[in-house]
Structure 1
Amino acid sequence: MRMCSADLNLLEKWTWNSRQNATYAGDLTSDGYMSTQQLAQAWKQKFPGLLTDNRHDYLFKFVNDQRSSTTFRAFTEGLFRAQEDTYDIAKETDEKLLRPYKFCSSWVKNVEENNDTLTQLRTFESKQEYKEMITNISLRLGFNYDIQKELVKHMYQMCRYNKAWDVSQISPWCAVFTKEDLKRLEYAEDLETYYKYGYGTPMNQQIGCTGVKDMMDFFKIHVDKDTPQQPRSSVRLATAPALLLALGALGARRDSAPLTADNYHSAVALARRWTSSTIAPFNANLAAVLYKCTPNSNLQINEQYQVLFMENEKPMNLEECRVGLCNYTFVKNRFGLIADNCNLDFCNSATKTTGLIGFTLLFVFITKLL
């Protein structure tokens, strides 16, 4: 099957935008800025009693770089609907909390720089059906030989990023792929993230505990005082790896069997929860909201304190919870234990080193794709 003339014409006319350079990549696009503002407004509409106009009700935590600073500005503009100075909003730049993997030499050596981490990905890419995909893409583009698989990955990235950079236009690079091609490329990406940041490597859940500890410490202040405290909302602006590691520590998106190169066509893989495209889109978010409730047997509310977990604005699927709503006793027993045992001393063991009235809320935001 060849590309149709209309798609081929779009591809022939495509040129690289000189603005899309390393400097440009370090900041939000105009669409990204606007969507971040809209996200803040959407959350404020969901929780008007929590996300107030009082700036002292917030504590922001983000990395001190251009993208995170711009995301902070866009989000606060969305919250307060004004382009005003954010000097009086409490903020912290704790990089070890937000990017613990960057400061863990043991993780860098044994996971990030370990070739074994990508074994399942490499095996999947060596399979005949993946090679046939490369052949079909090559023929579709008019080549009589197989182009390099890295080139295919670059086109896959351009398909996605072109669309993100200009949502009103169709990326000509997307016409290169069939739906089945995109499914295979997505599965390859899922294999990479599953072992690099997810359940495929046990150390990942150890690293992800920092986000859980930060959440539980914040909740404890409010529960112990039995009344809302300031700040009422803790908002974290983080990266895709930080979100994936936090989800692993929470036990979310866990599948009944590990993802492997050999089970692409299995029922587990076809219905898998670990899908990078749905977990980590632009402006992905994770929220935990603490509620103080009146127990009601009809509503299955048997404890005063409840916690609602949400992923990308939808209730998170957690065991022993009801559509994302969990008894605080369950949260305290399960995640409190993780928080109490959150110790990253093992990070230094490697020899190689490298540089429903809610009143508390924890967010994790993604500022860039993997």
Structure 2
Amino acid sequence: MNSYLFIGFFITLLYTYNEATLKTSDVRNYLGTRTPYRFRGNKNDSRIKFPHCKDSKIWMIIRHGTRLPRDTDIIKMNTTLKDLKYEILLNNKLGNGELTDEQIKNFEQWSTDINLEHERFLTLEGQDEMILLAERMQNRFPGAIKRKYNNATFLFRYTATQRAQQSARYFANGLFDKKDSQDVIFSPATKVDTVLRFYQHCDKWQKQVKKNPNTYTEQILFGVSDEMNKTLERVSNRLGLSSVLSLDKVILMYKTCGYETSWSKHLASPWCSVFDRASAEVLEYYHDLKHYWLDGYGHDLTYRQACVSINNMLEMFSNKEGPNATFLFAHSGTVLKILTHLGLFKPKDHLRGNAVMKERPWRTSHIDCFAANLAFVLYRCKDGDHVLTLHQERVIKLPMCGKELCPLKELRKKFKDTIYNCNFTDMCSLVRDEL
């Protein structure tokens, strides 16, 4: 599909902003999984060097870039939000609400008409995210990521979705010149992929976690809490409405603020003016509760099953043959479960629905934005092989190692359970009394 067709999908927005002035008080810092990657990625692409070492291999898993909403959200944006827009304008003309003249004008000119057929498609901004990410990674690791394409040294793999497929293609465009990028061979996507989307094929997890109502208990409790009710009142008063908005409508506005912020570097969504920092933090936490219990530390099986992806990386680094650079394009659920398997961003206590845990490391706005990524780089050193880990293009220390460059032998020892107790079939099969 011609990428320029996406221009017609973008929302008509008014005011521009300077991202360099983005402050912690800005509601755009609290957009959860719809946060733009340009807010989080590391723009410093200087080569990462270590004495007596050379980067030789890389294994990287990448969440697809910025996308359009799912079909249900598109329908609500095209109907519910349009109706709400006129209600907001009417009440503000009557002198109600706290919106400024400029914000009212922005609402007046806002419109959307996204085609349902393109639900969850990669956007132009998503394409740019992949191209720029690829260019920076190649600059950092020229030994592992060669500028000349060779099918024997590169492996590209994506899930059977348009957004992951297109993310892979634009990432390749960022690595190679036009001729080479057209020659890139991508591994065929399969309906069953236990490396890129293992959780979709884990029957036990699907039943015990995803489809288990108890998984969402904390989020539901927070959704009816005094803190959330006050947030709904605050948003409704800010808009000058005569009645308090439902949680569903406020969430829709919050999602739209996130999507429209992500879609364009230069335009901001009028729906972001609906929120102040406090209300945005509350809605961020509401969604973090869901991802924590669904994709994070809430259930052991959730992150245990990610062993298949970690083993894929370890096997690549241990084999002398095969590709030097492996790039895998997947989804939010994949990235979060792998991060959890590694013990990263773990809070001291479980996230609960009784109050916002403000000082928590588990914040999807920071760890799982669009195009979120995790990379492992193998360095050949005089004293043996070592592994460097990056999250969002920043070097991090794995909890089980504590050093930037972790010896591969030590890492394999730390991942002993991951390597030898990772029978996906046994782990994920339902016994007869569970069927």
TM score, norm. by length of structure 1: 0.84
Distance 2:239 2:354 in 1: 29
Query: Aligned pair in 2 of structure 1 residues 92, 232: CA closer, same or farther (>3 Å)?
Result: farther
Match of 2:349 in 1: 257
Query: Aligned pair in 2 of structure 1 residues 26, 130: CA closer, same or farther (>3 Å)?
Result: closer
User: Are the equivalent residues in 1 in contact too, given 2:153–2:323 (CA < 8 A)?
Assistant: yes
Distance 2:354 2:297 in 1: 17
User: Are the equivalent residues in 2 in contact too, given 1:250–1:335 (CA < 8 A)?
Assistant: no
Give yes or no for the alignment of 1:156 onto 2:257: no
Distance 2:124 2:206 in 1: 34
Secondary structure in 1 aligned to 2:243? coil
Q: How far does the alpha carbon of each residue in 1:329-350 deviate from its partner, in whole angstroms, 9 at most, with x for none?
A: 3310122431221122232206
Secondary structure in 2 aligned to 1:241? helix
Match of 1:64 in 2: 160
Q: How far does the alpha carbon of each residue in 1:40-60 deviate from its partner, in whole angstroms, 9 at most, with x for none?
A: 001000001110023231111
| 1:298-317 correspondence runs (5 A) | 304-317=384-397
User: Are the equivalent residues in 2 in contact too, given 1:293–1:305 (CA < 8 A)?
Assistant: yes
User: Are the equivalent residues in 2 in contact too, given 1:2–1:140 (CA < 8 A)?
Assistant: yes
| Displacement of 1:108 | 1.3
Mark the runs of 5 or more structure 2 residues left unpaired by the alignment. Answer: 1-96
Distance 1:121 1:181 in 2: 16
Match of 2:196 in 1: 98
Match of 1:169 in 2: 267
User: Are the equivalent residues in 1 in contact too, given 2:110–2:270 (CA < 8 A)?
Assistant: yes
Match of 1:11 in 2: 107
Aligned equivalent of 1:73, options 169, 181, 184 = 169
Query: Aligned pair in 2 of structure 1 residues 309, 21: CA closer, same or farther (>3 Å)?
Result: same
Secondary structure in 2 aligned to 1:288? strand
Secondary structure in 2 aligned to 1:97? coil
User: Are the equivalent residues in 2 in contact too, given 1:155–1:173 (CA < 8 A)?
Assistant: yes
Match of 2:401 in 1: 321
Q: How far does the alpha carbon of each residue in 1:303-340 deviate from its partner, in whole angstroms, 9 at most, with x for none?
A: x2211111010122422535533222331012243122
User: Are the equivalent residues in 2 in contact too, given 1:306–1:328 (CA < 8 A)?
Assistant: yes
Distance 2:312 2:224 in 1: 41
Aligned equivalent of 2:122, options 14, 25, 28 = 28
Secondary structure in 2 aligned to 1:290? strand
| Displacement of 1:5 | 2.1
Distance 1:124 1:342 in 2: 35
Distance 1:176 1:130 in 2: 15
2:338 is matched by which residue type in structure 1? A
User: Are the equivalent residues in 2 in contact too, given 1:288–1:308 (CA < 8 A)?
Assistant: yes
1:284 is matched by which residue type in structure 2? A
Superposition RMSD in Å: 2.1
2:344 is matched by which residue type in structure 1? A
Secondary structure in 2 aligned to 1:186? helix
User: Are the equivalent residues in 1 in contact too, given 2:305–2:427 (CA < 8 A)?
Assistant: no
Secondary structure in 2 aligned to 1:138? helix
Match of 1:50 in 2: 144
Match of 1:82 in 2: 178
User: Are the equivalent residues in 1 in contact too, given 2:157–2:168 (CA < 8 A)?
Assistant: no
Secondary structure in 2 aligned to 1:168? coil
User: Are the equivalent residues in 2 in contact too, given 1:310–1:324 (CA < 8 A)?
Assistant: no
Distance 1:141 1:351 in 2: 54
1:177 is matched by which residue type in structure 2? F
Match of 1:130 in 2: 228
Match of 1:238 in 2: 330
Match of 1:301 in 2: none
Query: Aligned pair in 2 of structure 1 residues 23, 84: CA closer, same or farther (>3 Å)?
Result: farther
| Displacement of 1:246 | 0.9
Distance 1:350 1:159 in 2: 44
| Displacement of 1:107 | 1.3
Q: How far does the alpha carbon of each residue in 1:108-131 deviate from its partner, in whole angstroms, 9 at most, with x for none?
A: 111111111111111112211210
| 1:316-355 correspondence runs (5 A) | 316-322=396-402, 324-344=404-424, 345-349=426-430
Distance 2:433 2:230 in 1: 40
Distance 2:110 2:427 in 1: 49
Match of 1:281 in 2: 369
Query: Aligned pair in 2 of structure 1 residues 110, 9: CA closer, same or farther (>3 Å)?
Result: same
Query: Aligned pair in 2 of structure 1 residues 106, 65: CA closer, same or farther (>3 Å)?
Result: same
Match of 1:364 in 2: none
User: Are the equivalent residues in 2 in contact too, given 1:213–1:340 (CA < 8 A)?
Assistant: no
Distance 2:177 2:280 in 1: 39
What is the number of residues matched between the two proteins?
Answer: 334
Q: How far does the alpha carbon of each residue in 1:166-214 deviate from its partner, in whole angstroms, 9 at most, with x for none?
A: 3211100000000111111111111110000000111101221111111
| Structure 1 runs of 4+ with >4 Å offset | 83-88, 350-354
Match of 1:359 in 2: none
TM score, norm. by length of structure 2: 0.72
- Which of structures 1 and 2 has the larger relative contact order (alpha carbons within 8 angstroms, sep 6+)? 2
Distance 1:239 1:44 in 2: 22
1:111 is matched by which residue type in structure 2? V
Aligned equivalent of 1:178, options 272, 276, 287 = 276
Match of 2:316 in 1: 218
